[in-house]
A and B are shown apart, each in its own frame.
Chain A
Amino acid sequence: MSTNLDAAGAALALRRRRLTRRTVVRFAAPYTLIAPALVVIGAILAYPLYYLVRLSFQRYGLFQLIAHKGSWVGLHNYGVLLHDPVFWHTLVRTIVFTFVNVALTLVLGTLVALLLVQVATAIRLMITSALVLAWAMPVVVAVQLWYWMTNFENGVVNYVLTELRLGDFIGHDWYISPTSALGVTTTLIVWGAVPFVAISVYAALSQVPRDLVEAASVDGAGPLRVFRDVTFPVLKPILLVLTSLSIIWDFGVFTQPFLLLQSRPNTDYYLMSIYLFEKSIGIHEYGLGSAIAVVMVLIMLLLSFFYVRQMVRLGDVK
């Protein structure tokens, strides 16, 4: 609190002083120091984004790629996109997929975090190590392992399920239907995402005031009531952050579904990222692909808008 007052006082004092060279250097120094970083970020993020939007208004196929020059077509790419039934089916499928993934990730992550609070230190260390190992595994390696595990001819999942007498799974093809295939993809993505959520929520759980929890249980509240009324309000900020991040990640996830489905899935299995890939790099039409990317960015912006607004609101109310 005291530092706020000091800073405010200093700023006021600065404004009142005459514009000396010393003042200018003091003012300019912070901006000069961050200037290189800003230039780099501008080059890496802003310029490609501008070029992407520009490309979405052009026809840029193989012919144009070799000539290094696109031909202007205005909103034609967007028109093609919005009239494509595959786009709308894929959008709906991706929204459902995102919803399922985010829900599972957050619920399972929170449950694991709650478990971590309860168990003994040794067990907690073991669980945390397992979580970190799962999280640290490179995505492509993880996908390859899951692909082998669920392989219909030699996969260990089929073998184990048959041995457990849960039915005859020998030769069962997990990718025969979109629901089954996306189910396996969901399992893989949730498996990789739960560690981050669990560890973040576990850290947040340390902020729950112990005396409040004890008081509530003394008053006769069951564990669910305690969670709803004491724990959850404290977790709200972190859960909000994790939800928004998960939505953004799971909406645009590409590696897992693309590689699990052997790089060239049927349109019934499409998610937005795969649709984007197939419509741009798959058929050498980079203008159309850019249009899809811009639409995806707009959808993400919409989601981020709500996230940022909530964060700002949370900052006001303490």
Chain B
Amino acid sequence: MKRRISVALCLAAVGAAAIAAGTMGATKKATASSITVWLQVDAQSAWPQSVALANDAFAKQHPDVTVNVQYQTWDTHLQKFDATLAGGNTPDVIEMGNTEMTKYMAAGAFADVTADKGKFPNSSSWLPGLVAFGTYNGQLQGVPYYAGSRVVIYRTDYFKQAGITKTPRSLAELTADGKKLMATFAKDKTFSAFYVAGPDWYSAISFVYDFGGQIAKLNGGQWTGTLDQPAAIKGLTAYKNTFLALSRASKTQDEAHPFPTTPFAQGHAASFLGPGWQYGYALDPKAGNPKLKSVISAFPMPSHVAGKTMPAFAGGSDLAIPATSSNKSLAEDWIADFTSNDSEAGIVKSGNLPNSTSLLHLVVGTPGKQLAQASTSGWFVPTAKNWTNVENANVLRNMLTQILAGKKSVQAAAASASKQITSMLNAST
């Protein structure tokens, strides 16, 4: 009798626990009174005041809707986005890099906002380059957010110490100046006259385009990798020589580990090639050295042809609305607030280029002037659907590591990278 009662009690307890576990699993669906926005950490560290401005403006328009801004890193945000696409709880606004847009647009990830183009400020004068990468099959799916360019950021005091009186106007002059700097600071074993991370393909491919080469060519619907062509080889060789002579950076770690601003702020680098926002970041109280404010300046990266600038990577970001979002109209309003003139002014001040020609007058001072100059000649990645696969497989980074570590000759490494690029870009969906 006792055993029967105890068994029955156990069964009842287990049954109750099972039911409780079942009901606990039910979650409430997100109500329409909040929207989720995914921005990159660049926005969090470099222009948080623009985000705050946008949120305030949005709150005035829609007082009962809360904005939930989440910051992602470039490495992982696509994986997270994929997970939300599979799960169904995508954000309402997502920041995508230019190079990432094509593949997702082709897969139908984003909503078509062509009809509401007029909502967005300055939409009639958007930079054509930025619009191109947010458009697919004639549909506008990405709203241009900002454009970037790259300049050489340097220390005037180090240059003066090495006896350099004016900034170099050609690649040969840069190399000569760099060698002077290396000799002046020979005591510091980790010193770099021109700090560039070995696998930094944004810098290395700039050399390729400077000599007239390119990453890949489209011929009759088929892509062909062209890094093994003579012009590209000349560029890669010039990059290799510059790196080996002037940079003591790692041959395996990329340009984000660490950011060039770190050795620069520590005094182990006289100059580095970086995007505009790294100018302010080098003076950041936590990540940089604010004492450098009086000795920091910038000049556009010189081409191998005297007097011209080397083409700079025309990066940038777009803001897109995932197709599965149920708050498209609210999302568009937020994007309009975030790309308003005031917000763009804050983004430009942090060292970027605005999304429209009518705002170019905001680009003043250093490094703005140099950025604007550098952006007049730019290059971009092949506009292929599968380009993100090439980036994710680190084809270019690995090629550069092989060249710089001496594991393969420039020709061999470029040939193997070209073959990989050809097969990856032409792979069918």
Q: Which residues of A contact B (CB under 8 A)?
A: 22, 25-26, 29, 32-33, 35-36, 61-63, 65-68, 152-153, 170-171, 173, 175-176, 262-267, 278, 281-284
Contact = CB atoms under 8 A, between A and B. Distances in A.
Given A152-B250, A282-B393, A62 B104 contact: yes
A29 B107 contact: no
B11 A153 contact: no
Contact of A63 (B18, B254, B429): B429
B162 to A, nearest CB: 22
Contacts of B376: none
B157 interface: no
17 contacts: A26-B7, A32-B11, A33-B10, A33-B11, A35-B14, A36-B18, A65-B107, A67-B108, A170-B190, A171-B248, A175-B252, A176-B405, A262-B253, A264-B397, A278-B392, A283-B389, A284-B103
- Most B CB within 10 A of own CB, among A152, A176, A266: A266
Nearest to B10: A33
Contact of B251 (A66, A68, A176): A176
Contacts of A284: 82, 103, 388-389
Contact of B189 (A25, A62, A171): A171
B219 interface: no
Contact of A65 (B10, B86, B397): B86
B75 interface: yes
Interface string B404-429: 01000000000000000000000001
A134 B20 CA distance: 38
Contacts of B250: 152-153, 173
A20 to B, nearest CB: 12
By size class, the interface of chain B is 35 or more
B39 to A, nearest CB: 21
Contacts of B14: 32-33, 35-36
A25 B8 CA distance: 9
A68 B108 CA distance: 12
A266 B398 contact: yes
A67 B14 CA distance: 40
Contacts of A29: 7, 10-11
Contacts of A63: 106-108, 429
A283 B248 CA distance: 32
B11 A66 contact: no
B190 A267 contact: no
Closest 7 CB pairs of A and B: A62-B107, A63-B107, A266-B398, A282-B392, A36-B18, A283-B389, A264-B394
A282 B7 CA distance: 52
B79 to A, nearest CB: 5
Nearest to B420: A267
B189 to A, nearest CB: 5
Interface string B74-93: 01000100100110000000
Contacts of A173: 250-252
Contact of B107 (A35, A66, A68, A176): A66
Contact of B254 (A32, A36, A262): A262
B109 interface: yes
Contacts of A25: 4, 7
A281 B258 CA distance: 25
A189 to B, nearest CB: 20
